Structure 1
Amino acid sequence: MSSFLKARRTSVRRPLTITAIAVLTLTALLVNPQPASAHGSAIDPPSRHYSCAVRWDTNWQNPIMAAQDPMCWQAWQANPAAMWTWNGLIQDNVNDNHQARVPDGSLCGGGDPTYAALDTPGLWRTQNIDNTFTWTMHDQARHGAAYIRIYVTKQGFDPVTQRLRWSDLELVKDTGPFPDTGWPTRPNDPLLNGVDYSFQVSAPGRTGRHVVYAVWRAGHADQNYYMCSDVRFPGGTPDPTTPPPSPPAPNNGCSAAYAIASQWPGGFQADVRVTAGSAPITGWTLTMRFPDGQTVGQSWNASITSNGSTATARNGPHNGSLAAGASTSFGLIGNWLGTNRPPALSCVATT
């Protein structure tokens, strides 16, 4: 069973030694830093923290996350506990004054510093939905609800560049109170072992990227949960996938041009041409600074070293010497997610 998503269970069957108690206490703190408030979140379309936890639950230390899922990566780096406790984003004793407790710009993180990275604008993974869709939340603790209020961002809001404010939202569903009984369970799912609350939601007039925002006040107490789900309605401007032509690099005895040869989800191949300047050169070094978290995995006709999203290519033994104005080329395969703009290039020649 997954260590990050498992529901907390308490069972004492026999006396424990002091050492065993210490080990169990440390494990509980690492796996579930907020066990008392681990109750639920939106799962379809998924909240940002649930979505990250599901995708990277058992692989969260893999550096490839930085290239393949940069928004989840920055959230893990900011505070891994926010991803481990995807079901615990809670505020107590709000007295229905959510705007006072959760200020503008901190809605996705519920006004809790632990979850603040969820408020960062960017290319969060989206789920395609229609303008009338089913929204589902999972309640592990089976508390029912005083209400669930579902909002959708207004047309014109850009979650890639803007932090969410209350004025950006339109209330599209208010469930009122309901008990936890009569809802479907997941008897074969040890992770989602509570009940699912599902509602039809209509958000006409939206196209493209949006945020579905929900506030769940539990039915048993003044406990309030907040969740941002990134969605894409039909139409609208797609996320950029085809980069514009690379600008010419400064000529320090050589110049370079970069072009995408092919691209697929999560990966791409690029061709790079290096050209000598007005004098012959005996070698060249090209620095490529990728703007969107891309990383280089393979190359040919050049030796490439990487430091995060900066890759440095050096000529091979066969293509370093170039006559004035002559060119050579090399290729690379890299990883990307969401946006794949060309890198900034800097070429330096050895004469």
Structure 2
Amino acid sequence: MRSHHPHQSGRQSRPAVRALVLALTVVAAMLPWTGAAQAHGTVINPATRAYQCWQNWGHRHMDPALQTQDPMCYRAFQANPDTMWNWMSQLRDGLGGQYQARTPDGQLCSNALSRNDALNQPGAWKATTVSRNFTLQFYDQASHGADFFRVYLTRQGFNPNTQRVGWGNIDLITQTGRYAPTQNISFNVSTSGRSGQHVLFVIWKASHMDQTYMWCSDINIV
């Protein structure tokens, strides 16, 4: 009976292992994003539409309950799973400050990215309950820092269940100054007397290059 020698077997398999590792490396390089190397950030409280989908359903995206308990996230996931998985990277380069001119009405929540158009759809998005004065929390894994944040809020009477967000139905309520590179940033926001269901729209101008992020967070102001 032939004996089996682990060391001998290992020597014989090394070329095959090296070939497999090389193949996996090539495949990984071809993926749209690969973890921290392409990671950026988002508003985590009140959670953006994409972030709350990932936070609540990312670990159980195949659960049938997704369709019935959170139909907006279900529709977004069906339209493009990347909307949920790539919640950190809703960015455009080179806008040169022309945010309104280069972001059409009805496309604000996706930052005019066609792959994320499901985020523009009106409907019963899960909302975060906030007071009339609350603290916005932002997380940036890559620690880019900020030239500024601009925070807008829909006007009283806006209905997020039936309306897309456009420039004509939001008001600028907060603009910050610069922030040094860090992963966690927070600042106070006043809702200027509004109440009920609204959409918070945030622009983040990152400091490391002309890179702009835009998101929508659904809120219930009490």
**Which of 185, 190, 193 lines up with 1:202 in the alignment?**
190
Are residues 1:122 and 2:123 paired? yes
Match of 2:141 in 1: 140
Q: Which runs of 4+ in 1 moved over 4 A?
A: 27-31, 33-37
CA distance 1:53–1:225, shift in 2 (3 Å): same
Structure 1 position 180, deviation (Å): 1.9
Structure 1 position 22, deviation (Å): 2.8
Are residues 1:80 and 2:81 paired? yes
Are residues 1:52 and 2:53 paired? yes
> For 1:6-45, what aligned pairs fall within 5 Å after superposition?
17-26=18-27, 32=33, 37-45=38-46
Distance in 2 (alpha carbons) for counterparts of 1:82 and 1:124: 14
The one-letter amino acid of 2:102's match is: R
> For 1:219-258, what aligned pairs fall within 5 Å after superposition?
219-234=207-222
TM-score (norm: length of structure 2): 0.87
The one-letter amino acid of 2:70's match is: D
Match of 1:162 in 2: 163
Match of 2:199 in 1: 211
Consecutive unaligned residues in structure 1, runs of 5 or more? 1-15, 182-194, 235-351
* 8 Å CA contact 1:211, 1:231 repeated in 2: yes
Structure 1 position 58, deviation (Å): 1.5
Match of 2:5 in 1: none
> For 1:231-310, what aligned pairs fall within 5 Å after superposition?
231-234=219-222
- Aligned residue for 1:115, secondary structure, equals helix
TM-score (norm: length of structure 1): 0.56
Consecutive unaligned residues in structure 2, runs of 5 or more? 1-16
* 8 Å CA contact 1:34, 1:88 repeated in 2: no
The one-letter amino acid of 2:132's match is: N
1:188-208 Cα shifts (integer Å, max 9, x gaps): xxxxxxx21101000122111
Structure 1 position 168, deviation (Å): 1.1
Distance in 1 (alpha carbons) for counterparts of 2:177 and 2:195: 28
Structure 1 position 24, deviation (Å): 4.1
Structure 1 position 26, deviation (Å): 3.7
Q: Which has the larger radius of gyration?
A: 1
Distance in 1 (alpha carbons) for counterparts of 2:37 and 2:211: 11
Q: In proportion to residue count, which structure has more strand? A: 1
Q: Which has the higher contact order (CA 8 A, sep 6+)?
A: 2
- Aligned residue for 2:59, secondary structure, equals coil
- Aligned residue for 1:173, secondary structure, equals strand
CA distance 1:25–1:116, shift in 2 (3 Å): farther
Distance in 2 (alpha carbons) for counterparts of 1:29 and 1:131: 45
The one-letter amino acid of 2:87's match is: W
1:66-91 Cα shifts (integer Å, max 9, x gaps): 00110000000000011111000000
Count of aligned residue pairs for this structure pair? 206
* 8 Å CA contact 2:36, 2:142 repeated in 1: no
Distance in 2 (alpha carbons) for counterparts of 1:56 and 1:29: 26
Structure 1 position 32, deviation (Å): 3.6
1:82-101 Cα shifts (integer Å, max 9, x gaps): 11110000000000111122
CA distance 1:34–1:67, shift in 2 (3 Å): same
The one-letter amino acid of 2:45's match is: D
Distance in 1 (alpha carbons) for counterparts of 2:112 and 2:51: 17
TM-align CA RMSD: 1.9
Aligned-residue identity in percent: 40
Distance in 1 (alpha carbons) for counterparts of 2:134 and 2:39: 26
